[in-house]
Structure 1
Amino acid sequence: MDKNTFDILYKDTIESLRAHRLLDALNALSGLIPESEELAVTREDYIRLLDYFKQGLPDPDRETLFLQFINKAFLLSDKAKYDFLKTQLGTCFNRLYTLRETDEFYQIAASAPYDRGTYEQVSARLKDETLAEAQKQIILSALTLSVVYLFDAYKIQLLLENVTSSVLKIRARALSGLVLGCILHYDRLSRHADLTARLQLLADVPDFCSDLLTMQLQLMRTAWTKKDESKLRDEIMPDIYRAASKMTQGKDLDFTNPDELANLDLNPAWASDEEVDNIGKKMQALADMREQGVDTFYTTFAQISKTHVFFSDIKNWFTPFSLRHSVFGDRGESLSDLSGLFEMHAAGDTEKFGMFLMIDQLSSGQLDGIKQNIRQINEQQAALQDKIHQTDAVQTIAEEIRFCMQDLYRFFSLYRYRDKDANPFASFLSMVDLPLFKPILQTKEALVLLGNYAFREQEWTLAVSLFQKLDATMQGPEILEKSGYCCQQLKEWDRAIIYYERANLMRPDSAWTLRQLSVVCVQAAQYDKALKVFKQLEMLEPENANILLRYGECLILAGESEAAFEKLFKSDYLHSDARSTKALAWCSMLAEKYEQAEKYYKKLIDKEEAQAVDYQNAAHNAWLLGLLNEALARYRACLRLRKMDFAPADFFVEDVEFLNKRGKTNDDIQQMRDALNS
């Protein structure tokens, strides 16, 4: 069966089962596994149940039997998917299946859904205190990989059993797998009462609640990897790379000489150098991004993973880092002095392998130079810690969770034989709305934390959706203001008005809220409401030229030109600039005070910063005054600024109504356009 046919039949099966359309599901399954005896027996039994139903015979077990048939059909669909996946040549799962006899990792990752006996064997192995922690991590990653492909209640239970481990690396890997399993297969999971009951009990475990919130933050961060990569590539790294030329006091630097690299002279002029000050800010931004969970090594790692054969082996993506790994051969011991890199810069396993695979290509002299630099930096850090009575921080669970998710994201995004259809990161991953996790992730503290995180990243839709999950009694003025601001950025003016008005009721006379409310009211063309807001703002800040200007502009839009003059004249008196001049000119023209408008338009277009629209409006005014040559000259200046050689058909389209009201017919307008183009 080809993949397209399988996907259609499998989708029909799952959708039918979720809707409890059992007969439709069995029909679709018959296309997936036409020769299955189990399916034939299940169909016969269900038809027999339907016969009883049609006869109206009492059957107290009918509902229980129906659910058993649903579950049986789900299991048959799992088997059909497993049998299909393992035969798809060239896919990641097929590679896992092919290697299943060679290593425990592949055996678990490519296994069919477990029965009770297999579950107990793996559970006992994970509890075995003599088994190395590194191997336990590999087992948990294999379980995770398997669960991504196929729902397996027993494997999810194995992951669940390890999410409270005292070993952080084990705890983080187990949590990563559990969370992916819950998100990808929640509908199936919810049908297992014993498993959901155990998950619900974890809501009373403070560490688990904290870990789950950390995981959701990291899932959000991981979803923004491409955006972060773009920011690093376009905004931060170019400036940092350019700083290389500032690293010496004008002398030629041999970048292959470790002695020179170890003894770089700092440039005293840097302190006053604005460019280098900018570099410092970019370096700090880079550090801040890493602290926030950004995968700052992603682009570099992508190149390494494409070129090094080490990452052709699936298991290596999930293997805990060790310099004793066979990839380093007998050079592992000589590289051990470089482990200090990770005291300065915590990293996940794939990142460590990637960095050391790069370093392994260097000469002995280059390695010695790097080692010397690391020793010096570590000594400086140790001295600083002594002064402030601090010790090296132990790697935290938050860091381990970050590294686990980054490693998983890298694998599903970069592994050369990856299965795109199986990438869990192809869509946004969220646990917030899963009923099992609502008691943990829909508390006020959690939603505010998640919402603020999204808000800082300018993820407006996500931020407002999180804020609005809060009960109305928990939505203080700050949350409402931020919700309004999100909607404002999304150009959802009516929603923004609602949030800003509620915020204003809770925190009256907030100038910031009133300013934003005035903006969105104008954008929504609710001018009466906007004018009331401007009146409040004027009372708060009567000498604020910008508020008066916007007040006047709103009065113009509301058709109150005479009232607008009062505000605009005062604004221009307090602070005359191009915007106030433009508003006075436009208001004068609307009021048919063309001579007055001409004075302002001349002032406006005499400035170098005059825009195309300024020349166009000034041309309208000259035309209305009967100054045709001046009007033509201004229209042509407008076209030049727009880099046009002629007036297009729609050149006057936005101003037709305005000109019609002032006596210019449509034919007049067309003739003016022809005059411009002649």
Structure 2
Amino acid sequence: MVVDEDLKKRAQHIKDLLLQDRLREALELIKTQMAGVSDWSVLSRYEDIESSYSFMLQYFSQGSPDEHRTEVYRQLIRRALLLNDDVLQARLQPESMLLYYQHLRSRLARTENIEGIRLSLESFVEISDTTAHERTLGLLFDLIWTNGQWSSEDSASILELIDSPLVMEDDSLLVISAVTLSLMERFDPLKCLFLCQAAENLSMAVSIRALTGLAVTLGSYKDLLPYFPEIKNRITLLLDTPGIKERMLKVQMAMLLCRETKEIDRRMREEFIPTMLRNPKLGDLMREELEREDVSPDWKEWIEKPEVKDKLMQMTELQMEGADVYMSTFSHLKNYPFFREIHNWFRVFSLDQPDVINSLGETFSKSTVAKSMLSSGMFCNSDKYSFALTFSQIPQEQRDMIMGQVDGEFQEEVQEIRSGNLPADAKENFAARQYTQDLYRFFNLFSRRHEFRNPFDDNLNLLIDNPLSPLLQTEDSEQAIAAWLLGKGYYDEAVSAYRLMESTAHPYSTDYRFYQQMGYALQRTQCYKEALEAYRRSDILQSDNNWTLRHSAQCLRILGQPVEALNLLLQAEKNSSDNLSLQIQIGDCLVDLKRYDEALTRFFKVDYLKPDYPKAWRAIGWCAFLAGRTDKSIEYYDKLLKTKPTGNDCLNAGHAYFVDGNIQHAVSLYRQSRKVLGLEQFESEFEKDRPILIEKGISEQDIPLLLDLL
């Protein structure tokens, strides 16, 4: 493996030289890299490139004019880039233990070709010999995946295969995945063009899968694409394909949703599941619920608990937005022999698959219950296989219970699918989400996943600076992506999306909410001046909007302009005098201006109107401390400390007790603060407050003594 990595690093260095137009150096290194390569076609191509470049240099040295010199040079770079990949493959092919090269050596030892496999697949229109069909699919996947550099004949024969009306759609979908995985292994312009062609396929599922393949591959090759303009031109042609931009948006949204999967997985393991299991009688309650139609009072009481209800609502919301909530459930069910075969990770779920039949039983696999699972859009294909393969290990009684639940849960959805009432838009969303989740599981759970570049480690925001960006630069797509990025807290990317919309005069940019959203994204990225400008534009489109006024005031406070901030807040107060949060915000501005008595009046009003409001207690505690009313400050900090205090709450309460002369309690609170904030942040926050402590009568010499007590 060390040799493999060394060869790959050299190939990457050669590629870098070529992209810097240092062709002579690159060719010399390619020649060194070719040591031991016996492939005549590789050696011949090197000699051809080297000879052509030598002639070019000779003509150039003689001052001979050549209007095609620049284009010829670019063609030489292009050919050298492809040769570099072929040389690397030729070096690794004989002995590398990487899975790709193991399959490559196995494939080269066989005699199958695409034409023969196509004829075999066309004979499987009605599956009778499932074992032979399985073997053929495995051969096909290997043949495509390990075919390094396509010829035009290769491309044509594989296009003929997926276009054949006699080849089952599920088999064509596996072909698209094989091409995608092959393209991830190494760049191939013909495979890129093939996926563009497949994106126009009449089959919605083939089109979605091809677009997804382009999405996970092209971004990593964008530095090469200037040397292969035919790819950009082909993508441009896609713009004229009906429905392709809408499908591209669905693929993009499915990819963006995968950003949340790790966090959802963590929350499922650390929050949702522990909350569900917190009731010791959960198992009994579930059994009771299955045995009778009426709701158990104990079960209902448990469900209504705030923490349980909140978690269930969160889970429902995640499912509604299409988030991948089943990763944690099925991640431990990928160790079956079925998943050791790489092509099975990309299979569409089928009840005719031999492993599924062996697990479920032929009769049961044809049941309505099993078909419910097949038809459901809730699970991706990979998880459906996990579900089915697990069945053989479950006792019959529990199997019946689970399938009874499954049948009930999916019955309405299945009826809708069978009736043909499911909108085409929903079908496309299902297809994009399911396939993206299948890919996510392969690149994160496959036993040899570390041998593959994980596309989900990349940004996968295709809207800006991506070869596929033109397919997403439509009014609907831009607005949908910007809104999602903003809502999920990807503020830097949201700013870029809103800037793009602004630069192209997007219709939404004439709406006051557009500049509110842009301003908020800028504010969250600490671009306060730019945020203020966006809020100003929003105010022009709709004046006296309280949300705009309040967020403008927040920026002004941070920029050290409390007077201007206060004026905006007082303007907002005219429209919403009973807004307690606004009263707190006005009070904070008054504190900045050292108008402590006025600020306390605001804070006490909030405390009176809304008792048990920690935000008001926090404001009173700090303002009273600054105003020299230490006793009142301690009173409110004591109330605050009985709730869920922050690290800064403990720090500020410690200040109050320090000034009051209660050193021991101050030390205790400072220790709590340090534990929550961490040493570095605690020391930073304490230093900011040092001048205030001295102003309140603390001797400068006492401060280091107190800190040493910590």
With normalisation by structure 2, the TM-score equals 0.80
Please state if 1:292 is matched with 2:292: no
Which position in structure 2 is the counterpart of 1:113?
A: 149
State the distance in 2 between where 1:242 and 1:133 align. Answer: 46
* Structure 1 match to 2:13: 12
1:608 is displaced (CA, Å) by 6.6
TM-superposition CA deviations, 1:522-565 (whole Å, max 9, x none) = 2333334423433433444456565455434434434xx3x453
Pairing 1:638-657 to 2, within 5 Å after superposition:
638-643=666-671, 653-657=687-691
Residue 334 (structure 1) aligned with residue 373 (structure 2): no
> Where does residue 323 of structure 1 map in the other structure?
351
Task: Tell me the secondary structure at the aligned position of residue 202 of structure 2.
Answer: coil
Is residue 484 from structure 1 mapped to residue 516 from structure 2 by the alignment? no
In structure 2, relative to structure 1, the CA distance for the partners of 1:367 and 1:517 (3 Å cut) is same
- Cα distance in 1 for partners of 2:695, 2:667 equals 24
Which residue identity is paired with 1:29? I
CA contact (8 A) 1:108 1:143 kept: yes
Distance in 2 between the 1:292 and 1:96 partners?
A: 39
- Matched residue type, 2:145: A
Alignment-derived partner of residue 47 in structure 1: 54
Unaligned runs of 5+ in 1: 254-259, 590-596, 622-630
Is residue 624 of structure 2 the alignment partner of residue 585 of structure 1?
yes
Structure 2 gap segments, 5+ residues each: 38-42, 111-137, 609-615, 643-648
Change (3 A) 1:95 1:281: farther
Cα deviations across residues 104-151 of structure 1 (Å, max 9, x unaligned)?
A: 210110012111222222222222222222322222211111111111
Bigger Rg over Cα: 1
Match in the other structure for 1:518: 553
Q: Give the distance between the partners of 2:640 and 2:311, measured in 1 at CA.
A: 34
- Say if 2:518 and 2:531, in contact at 8 Å, map to a contact too: yes
TM-aligned CA distance change 1:564 to 1:109, over 3 Å: same
Aligned mate of 1:155, from 179, 191, 195? 191
Q: Quick one: which amino acid aligns to residue 162 of structure 2?
A: L
Write out aligned runs for 1:49-64 (5 A): 49-64=56-71
Cα displacement (A) at 1:569: 3.1
Find the aligned partners of 1:155 and 1:639 in 2 and give their Cα distance: 67
Is 1:465 the counterpart of 2:496 in the alignment? Answer: yes
Contact kept, 8 Å, 2:94 with 2:105, in 1: the verdict is no
On the 8 A contact 1:247/1:264 being kept in 2, the answer is no
CA contact (8 A) 2:618 2:636 kept: no
Deviation at 1:269, TM superposition (A): 5.6
Q: Distance in 1 between matches of 2:280 and 2:634?
A: 51
Which amino acid counterpart does residue 308 of structure 1 have in structure 2?
A: Y
Change (3 A) 1:112 1:264: same
What corresponds to 1:405 in structure 2? 436
Q: Which residue pairs with 2:454 in the alignment?
A: 423
Shift of residue 193, structure 1, vs aligned partner:
3.8
Give how far 1:203 is off: 0.9
**Count of residue pairs the alignment pairs up:** 645
| Structural RMSD (CA) | 3.7
Q: Which amino acid aligns with 1:341?
A: M
Distance (Å, rounded) in 1 between the aligned partners of 2:8 and 2:417: 58
Aligned residue type for 2:490:
E
Q: Does 1:304 align with 2:333?
A: yes
- Give, in angstroms, the shift of residue 211 of structure 1: 0.6
Equivalent residue in structure 1 for 2:85, among 56, 72, 78: 78
Deviates more, 1:347-356 or 1:4-13: 4-13
**1:171-186 equivalences in 2 (<5 Å):** 171-186=207-222
Matches within 5 A, 1:491-530: 491-530=526-565
Aligned residue type for 2:365:
L
| Deviation, structure 1 residue 9 | 1.9
Q: 1:393/1:53 Cα in 2 relative to 1: closer, same or farther (>3 Å)?
A: closer
Distance 1:371 1:293, change over 3 A: closer
What residue in structure 1 maps to residue 586 of structure 2?
Answer: 551
Output aligned runs, 1:220-259, within 5 Å.
220-242=256-278, 245-246=281-282
How far apart, CA to CA, are the structure 2 residues paired with 1:409 and 1:645?
Answer: 40
Q: Secondary structure at the match of 1:642?
A: helix
Name the stretch that deviates more: 86-95 or 410-419.
Answer: 86-95
Contact 1:91 1:419 in 2 (8 A): no
Q: Deviation per CA, 1:568-616, whole angstroms, max 9, x where unpaired? A: 4355356455345335524433xxxxxxx35634644665748544554
Contact 1:215 1:401 in 2 (8 A): yes
Contact 2:250/2:429 (<8 A) preserved: yes
- CA gap 1:542/1:141 in 2 versus in 1, 3 angstroms: closer
TM-score, normalised by the number of residues in structure 1: 0.84
Offset, 1:667: 4.0
Per the alignment, in what secondary structure is the counterpart of residue 360 of structure 1?
helix
Q: What is the alpha-carbon distance in structure 2 between the residues aligned to residue 544 and residue 669 of structure 1? A: 40
User: Residues of 2 paired with 1:32 and 1:86: CA distance?
Assistant: 14
Match of 2:103 in 1: 96
Letter of the 1:289 counterpart: L
The one-letter amino acid paired with 2:325 is T
**Residue aligning to 1:636:** 664
Answer yes or no: is the 8 Å Cα contact 2:372–2:414 preserved in 1: no
Change over 3 Å in CA distance of 1:538–1:90 after alignment to 2: same
Contact 1:203 1:440 in 2 (8 A): yes
Q: Which shows bigger deviation, 54-63 or 369-378?
A: 369-378
CA shift in 2, pair 1:637/1:60, >3 Å: same
Q: Is it true that 1:347 corresponds to 2:347 in the alignment? A: no
